[in-house]
Every structure is written in C-alpha cells, then in structure tokens.
Structure 1
Amino acid sequence: MSTIWPERLPQSKGPKYTLVADTIRKAIENKTLETGARLPPVRELAYRLRITPGTVARAYSLLTDEGLLQAEVGRGTFVAAPKSPILDDVWSRQLHLREDKYNAHVSLFSPRLADVGQVALIRECLMKVAQSDPEMFLNYPTRDAYQPARQAVVDWLSDLPLGPLTADDIVLTHGGQNGLCVVFQTILRGPKPIVLVEDLSYAGFRRAGELMRAEVVGIRMDKWGICPEALDDTLRQTQAQAVCVSPEVQNPTGSHSPLERRKEVVEVARRHDLQIVEDDCYRMGEARASSYRALAPERGWHVSSISKTLTPALRVGFAIAPLERSADLRRSAEYGYFGLAQPIVELTRLLLSDPRARKIAQDARARMGEYVRVTVNALGGFDLVWDAEVPFVWLKLPSGWRSAAFSRAAEREGIQVRSADEFALRDGRAPNAVRIAMNGHVSLERFEEAMLRLRALLDNPPEQISV
C-alpha cells in the first residue's frame, strides 16, 4: 500500500476525498492493489497523508458503495473481489433505445437525454439499494434518515451561486413540477392569490398556480426576460404574491437574464414585497450569474431537478427556500406527501455521490450540443435562437407560416414540435414561433433527416395562410 502514496496528497481543486478515492481506484485497476489486500486503518492513512480521518473515511465509503472495497466489522477494509462475468454483463450493459427503422415519427416536444452511461450507473446503484438494510423497505421516511441524501444534493449543487446552503435547506420533491407546487403551497395565501409569469413561459407555472386557485397574470418580456418596468406597473395595480422566472434558460425562448436585469427585478420585488420563484430545471451548463436566492436571500426560492442533467425517469427534484423560510417549506412537503420513498432517496444519494455522475452530466451536455449543432446547420438560415448548452431551440417562423399551421404540417411529416401557443396564457397573444427540443433517443443521422424535412417545410409555406 505504501507504494501508491506520496508523503502528502498533490494539490487539486477538487475535494480531497475524491483524490484519495481516485488513487485507490487506479491502484486497483492496474493491479497494484490485489483482491483481498487490506487497506490501512483510517487514522493511520490520514496521519500519513496529513489529512483528516473524515476525509479518508469518506473515500473508503465511496469505494465501498462502488463495490471496489469491502468493509468487515472488526477486521478492516479490503479490496473486494471483482464481480462475476455474468453480473458484469448484466449490470454494465447500457440501455440503447432502439429505433424503429420503419417509423419516421420523431418527437421534439421535450428534451430527451442520450444514454451516455447513466443507465449503467443507475442499475448499479439500484443493486446496492436492493442490498440495503431491510428497515429501509419497512419504515416511513424520516427527516434524519434523509440527511445524507440532502447533503449529497448540497454537494451536487456546490458550484452554483445559491448563497448559504446546508442540508437542512434542501427539500426533496417528485421532480421540478412538484417542487413548484410545494413552493406555491408555502407562499400563497388567501382565496384568490395572484401569481405573475412572463408573457411566454413554461406552462407548468400556470398549471401549478391554477392548482392553488391562483390567478396567473402575464408580464411583458424582452430578450433578457421579464421587464422590470412592466413588473412594477402590474404590482402597483395588483396584490401579487409571487413571480415565476427562469433566468438561466428562459423556456421557451432559450434566452437568459444577465446579472443587471436580475438586480433590477430584485429591486422591484423588494419594493412590493414580492416572492421570486426561480425555475432552474433546464440549465445544463454553468450558471451565468448569481441566482435570485443569492441576490435576494429573504425572498428567493429555487427549484431544480436532475431531469435535464441525468434522467427524468426517477422524478427527483429539489426545492430550496429563502434563508428564513426553510422550516415552512419542509412543513409543506411533510404535510403533503411525508417525503420521497426511502429506496428512491437512497438511490439519489448513491447516484449524486458517485464521482462518475458529474462526468455523465458533462457527457450528456456535450452530446446534446451535437444535436443543437445539427439543428443549426439545417435551420440556421432562419430566425433561430439557440445555445449549445440549451436542449431546445426557438424558431421564429418566416412569412407565410402561422405556428399552429406549421406544427400541424410538421406532424404530418412525422415530427412533433411545440407551438408558441402552448407557452402563452389563455388570453395572451403568441408569436409565430415554435420550440424544437433535442431528442437524444434517436441517432444523429435520423435527427438530421427530421431537421431537413422541417427546412423543406419552412422553404415552402402554404399559398394561403391558415389560422
């Protein structure tokens, strides 16, 4: 064991426990550490490397979760035996979504992530969950039992400018939409509250608001998001309690709000005692500016999920309250659904704690960028708003096309896109535009064929404009 360690760990930007784990992992891979080799006790290795025992213990725990190490009570920690070839074949086989060669249908309604390793990792984590303490499968959820998972979420979000954040601030939800509903349950008061949204916005804002008996009012927007002047004018005339925004990735236009615009919105919100609900579910890359929770810690609420970074299948989201409202948010969740199922929470902890998860998220983002580039190559001659790290594009239709008519024509070609009407309020006006989401479940070649079919439609508008 002494041959794989220097006198102290080399300098690294990442957490020290991951460096310790990586060193052991590489030693196992290159056979420097053989099966059955006993690792030094935690305190002994910590003293040798001049780090805390907790750092070493966390590295050992991580590798034990991965199945590389095996801890035996009273004996120590050993290099685990490799899995049998049969299990390796079953659990490392990734799910490749098979295309029907005879079906030209391509759904571009919602972003779909390509499998870049998350399926194999989820399967591996599921197997560990299945081998967990039986009590997990028999008891009601408890706040203390979920603390490790909430800490894993804090670590997962550690690169975001969210302001002070601890595990006690995290509320686990059934995806981002459930997170919005829980936030609204915490914020909204009275028989007919008012919620503000941008004129074009995520339909889930409206649905969550209506579920809470709220009147949803649209606010004028520009290319940088919600207009502070229009927000101020509306607040002078109404008693709105919350405004919903997506400053990192505005849905459906794909634009973002720069820091200066966010500060202007905060100034208006403070003047009228307005709560700010930020939906961050569509961001795949780094944050462009501070979140509203960081800019306005007394009124900024944050909702996110792993749906656009790892998978939407698990329905795992996170809701975060302003600094003084965490207990209120927890109470809304506990009164509403007690908590997520314990096996799902443990699966989330294992998934987010695994260092491979971040690499998978990066690979998924890069893969999505390839689909965006194919889209731009095919449709870049039209009025297209796009970003390589946003999983959809916003296409303003050329003269001769209305959004509803274009959507119907695209569907006849076997392609489903979202009309701008789906993002406008019921009494609002929508531009002649469509949102085209990236679909990583089909090959790039087939996706490109779909884009070329859309281009042919755009080049040949109908002679008569249909409504």
Structure 2
Amino acid sequence: MDTIWPEALPTQSGPKYKAVANTIRQAIDAGTLAVGAKLPPVRDLAFRLGITPGTVARAYTILTDEGLLSAEVGRGTFVAPPKSPLLDDVWSRQLHLLEQADPDHVSLFSPRLADVGQVALMRECLSKVAQADAALFLNYPTRDSYLPLRHVVADWLSTLPLGPLTPEDVVLTHGGQNALCVTFQTILKSPKPTIAVEELSYAGFRRAAELMRAEVVAVEMDGHGVLPDALEAAARQHRVQAVCVSPEVQNPTASHMPLSRRKQIVDVARRHDIQIVEDDCYRIGETRAPSFRALAPERGWHIASISKTLTPALRVGFAVAPEGRGPDLRRAAEYGFFGLAQPLAELIRLMLSDPRTPDLVTKVRRRMSDYIRVTVNALGRFDLVWDAEIPFVWLKLPSGWRAAAFTRAAEKAGVQIRSADEFALRDGRAPNAVRIAMNGHVPLDTFEAAMLRLRALLDNPPEQISV
C-alpha cells in the first residue's frame, strides 16, 4: 500500500471515500495490488492518510460489494480473486454444509421456509407428472400448452387486489427475479434507460437493471416508502422510465406503504409516464391496500412467486402485465427463454390446484411467525421493526455498534445477517441497521440460541466503535 500513496490521499473533487476506493481500484487494475494482497487495517490506513476510519471503512465496503476485496473475520481485508459466476452457488452449498457440520451456525441471510407438508405434496405431484404422457417430456412447449397453468395461476392470484385479471395477463417465469428481468425487457426503451428505486431496496432491482444496461437512481424514502416529491424530482432530472417498489413488504425495512402514498406515486407516474413495477415476493400474509396494478391499470406491473409461501426450490414466479400489455410481456418471455419446462409447468399446475395447498400456505405463514415471535422476545427491547407475517426483521443498531462491525461480530458468533449497506446503491446512504431473516430450516431452539447470541452482542458493544 505504501507504493499507492507515497505521501497522502490524492487530491480530487468529490467525497474522500470515493478517492480511497478509486485509488485502490486503480492499483488492482494496474497489478500494483495483486490477488491475495492484504490491505492495512481501517484505522492504520485512516491515520496514514489523515482521514476518519469511517471514510476508509466505506471505501472498503464499496470495493467488497463490487467483488474486488474480500473481508475475512479475524484475518483482515484482501484483494479478491476474479469473480466466477459459480461462486454464489458454491458459497450457498458451503453454507448448507457448514450448518450441517456445526448446528450452532445459523444463516439468516435470506428467509428459509419450514417444511409443513409441502415437500410431501411436491413428491406426490412429481409422481403424477412422471406418469404423464410421453409428449410432455419430448415436445417443445407451445403457447397453448401453458394455458391450463395460466388459468390456475390467475385463479391463485384472484384473491389479490390486482384489478381485472385474465390468464392472458400472466406470464410464467423462473422465479421472481426472472419475472423482474422479463418485465424490464418489456417496458424499457432507448439505449440508456433509467430506473428509480428506493434508497434502500432489494438488490435484485439493481442487478436486473444492470443486465439491461440501465442507469439506476436512488430516490429518498421515509417510513412509508418512496417520497412522491423525490420521485418527481428524479423523473425531471433523469427521465425515469420505471420505478420499482415493494409497497406491501418493503425490503429490507419491513415497512408498509399506505393507500394515500400509493395514490400520490400513481399521480407522479402518470404525469411523467413512468411504469410502476411492484415486487410482491416477500408478502406471506394478506394484502392491506390495492396494488399499483389496480390503482394504475395502464402502467402497473406485478411480480409474485411461490418462493416465500411454498418453496423457492422450484424457481417459479409470475409476472402480471397491465391491462392490454399481456402480449408484449409474453413476447419478451418467449423470445428470452421460450417458457417453463413442460414437466415443471405441470407440476406447478397440480400443486396450485390441489385443495390442500391453501392450508399449507397458512401453515407456512404460522410457522414463520413462530420464528418472528422468538426474535421479538429476544430483541424486542431494541429498535426493531417487525411484523408477524413478514419473514425478516429490521434492526436499528444501538449506540456503540456500526453495521459492518456488528455483522462481522455476529458471523464470528455463528450468525450470518445482512448489513444495511447491501441494500443501498454503491454511493448511496445506508443507515446503521441490519436485516435478520427467519430460518425455518433450523429447530426453533437453535434459532432462539442464535437470537440470544445477537442480544449478547447488542448488550456489549466494543469499548471503541469499530468500523
């Protein structure tokens, strides 16, 4: 690192953390910092450069999010090897094996559903699919072959306040993320489109936007979601084509957007011809207000899946187009991936049409609420945002803790959680908070022990604020 800054931080306009990040990034690109090189501790580099430790920590976090650096608990921060598309899958498998080998290790990165009988139903339906006509396993799927499933999905979604809905409005996708990508492919125009997201939002919005080579702008929000005036300002400055929102369950803050705010967002969207993309994948309870598709039937797009209600393993989601846009959405899906595999489509048709499935969804919801109850009992005296029918909680950290330090300390204690930084744009603001997801794969007593370890950390912050 001495060869990067012989004297002090290079002078440049803009925030100092960007200067630190850019200098490290350039050194990695030039080979001055090789793969595996260890960076100085945050405080050491801050002292050397005459800046605050928080400035250096933010630069390190940005580069870690980009995959250029990796932070290892108890060892330090290193230059990471080039990212492989298989790394995420490998990491997921490692987490699973680690939990098997160490029952005290609990991953609370993403919600994991308990088995309340849906696995037995899947096996039963798979057996029926296996006995189907050979044509199901040999032919390319056609538009008409999906019609029975689209009817079932339209019926499945009919309890939601989506406005008039027909099977022609529904497109079947490989999970909610795929539904989001197909929706963007349908609605975005021009070589460099712009998408607006809440300043804290689901990271998948940004990743899907990057695939479309779209610019992403963060819009200021409050406890009810995106601020209408801020969206108006962004629309004027950036010519926003779409805004992504999660009004029923805001991810990660667990907040809810009331009807009055939704109507204000619709007014802004109509004035500036903005499409509204609503992500409804995290809701496991009843809806509390009409969807944007019902409020703005000409521009409301709805994304849903079975990942948080039945299982994420099948990777099945639904994109619902505004009135009259179904053919456009279906064309994007057909051109992109031709549709779901026919055996999978038949499996989903059998599952969603089975009279036992609604009861299974209710049981999943109740079981997940048991984990929420344990979480609230353990952490409720802190600044915790929660709901019995949301599979995660939002914890605003007490004085003495910073999100990055707390997540590292939690991981060292065998509990993996997500920092607020992971939900902000790379140069955006992130509050001092963490998201804790429910893990129905582990026994309730194991989960409770993990919550008590987090409480012990919250009760005993480090003497000096660690960054």
Instruction: Measure how far apart 1:98 and its partner are.
Output: 12
Q: 1:341 corresponds to which residue?
A: 341
- Counterpart of 1:285, as a letter, is G
> What is the count of residue pairs matched by the alignment?
371
Seen in structure 2, the aligned counterparts of structure 1 residues 98 and 465 have a Cα distance that, compared at 3 Å, is closer
Alpha-carbon deviations, 1:110-142, whole Å to 9, x = none? Answer: 000000000000000000000011100000111
Q: 2:375 corresponds to which residue?
A: 375
Instruction: Measure how far apart 1:103 and its partner are.
Output: 3.2
Greater mean alpha carbon deviation, residues 189-198 or residues 99-108: 99-108
For 2:99 and 2:199, locate their aligned partners in 1 and report how far apart those are by CA, in whole Å.
37
Instruction: Measure how far apart 1:424 and its partner are.
Output: 0.2
1:34-113 matches, within 5 Å, as 100=100, 102-113=102-113
For 1:414 and 1:358, locate their aligned partners in 2 and report how far apart those are by CA, in whole Å.
35
Instruction: Measure how far apart 1:241 and its partner are.
Output: 0.3
Q: Secondary structure at the match of 2:426?
A: coil
Instruction: Measure how far apart 1:429 and its partner are.
Output: 1.2
Q: 2:449 corresponds to which residue?
A: 449
- Counterpart of 1:422, as a letter, is E
Aligned-CA RMSD value: 1.2
Gaps of 5+ in 1: 1-96
Q: Secondary structure at the match of 1:408?
A: helix
Q: 1:145 corresponds to which residue?
A: 145
1:412 aligns with 2:429: no
The structure having more radius of gyration, on CA atoms, is: 1
Tell me the TM-score normalized by structure 1: 0.78
Q: 2:7 corresponds to which residue?
A: none
Q: 2:73 corresponds to which residue?
A: none
| Alpha carbons 2:173, 2:317 under 8 Å: kept | yes
1:174-189 matches, within 5 Å, as 174-189=174-189
For 1:448 and 1:313, locate their aligned partners in 2 and report how far apart those are by CA, in whole Å.
25
Q: 2:427 corresponds to which residue?
A: 427
For 1:438 and 1:164, locate their aligned partners in 2 and report how far apart those are by CA, in whole Å.
34
| Alpha carbons 2:116, 2:360 under 8 Å: kept | yes
For 2:421 and 2:428, locate their aligned partners in 1 and report how far apart those are by CA, in whole Å.
9
Q: Secondary structure at the match of 1:395?
A: strand
Instruction: Measure how far apart 1:99 and its partner are.
Output: 7.0
Instruction: Measure how far apart 1:171 and its partner are.
Output: 0.2
Q: Secondary structure at the match of 2:356?
A: helix
1:309 aligns with 2:282: no
For 2:257 and 2:397, locate their aligned partners in 1 and report how far apart those are by CA, in whole Å.
24
| Alpha carbons 2:98, 2:105 under 8 Å: kept | no
- Counterpart of 1:153, as a letter, is V
Q: 1:324 corresponds to which residue?
A: 324
Q: Secondary structure at the match of 2:257?
A: coil
Q: 2:213 corresponds to which residue?
A: 213
Gaps of 5+ in 2: 1-96
1:437 aligns with 2:464: no
Q: 1:57 corresponds to which residue?
A: none
Instruction: Measure how far apart 1:168 and its partner are.
Output: 1.1
Q: 1:351 corresponds to which residue?
A: 351
1:158-173 matches, within 5 Å, as 158-173=158-173
- Counterpart of 1:325, as a letter, is R
Alpha-carbon deviations, 1:183-221, whole Å to 9, x = none? Answer: 000011111110000000000000000110000000000
Q: 1:288 corresponds to which residue?
A: 288
- Counterpart of 2:188, as a letter, is L
| Alpha carbons 2:181, 2:208 under 8 Å: kept | yes
Q: Secondary structure at the match of 1:318?
A: strand
1:128 aligns with 2:121: no
Instruction: Measure how far apart 1:363 and its partner are.
Output: 0.3
Instruction: Measure how far apart 1:248 and its partner are.
Output: 0.4
Instruction: Measure how far apart 1:335 and its partner are.
Output: 0.2
Alpha-carbon deviations, 1:133-152, whole Å to 9, x = none? Answer: 11000001111011111111
For 2:258 and 2:407, locate their aligned partners in 1 and report how far apart those are by CA, in whole Å.
32
Instruction: Measure how far apart 1:101 and its partner are.
Output: 7.4
Q: Secondary structure at the match of 2:446?
A: helix
Seen in structure 2, the aligned counterparts of structure 1 residues 188 and 101 have a Cα distance that, compared at 3 Å, is closer
- Counterpart of 2:155, as a letter, is D
- Counterpart of 2:135, as a letter, is E
For 1:379 and 1:239, locate their aligned partners in 2 and report how far apart those are by CA, in whole Å.
43
- Counterpart of 1:190, as a letter, is S
| Alpha carbons 2:395, 2:434 under 8 Å: kept | yes
Q: Secondary structure at the match of 1:377?
A: helix
Q: 2:77 corresponds to which residue?
A: none
Q: 1:268 corresponds to which residue?
A: 268
Q: 1:243 corresponds to which residue?
A: 243
- Counterpart of 2:119, as a letter, is V
| Alpha carbons 2:171, 2:330 under 8 Å: kept | yes
Q: 1:68 corresponds to which residue?
A: none
For 2:226 and 2:99, locate their aligned partners in 1 and report how far apart those are by CA, in whole Å.
40
Alpha-carbon deviations, 1:369-428, whole Å to 9, x = none? Answer: 000000000000100000000000000000011101100000000100000000000110
1:255 aligns with 2:255: yes
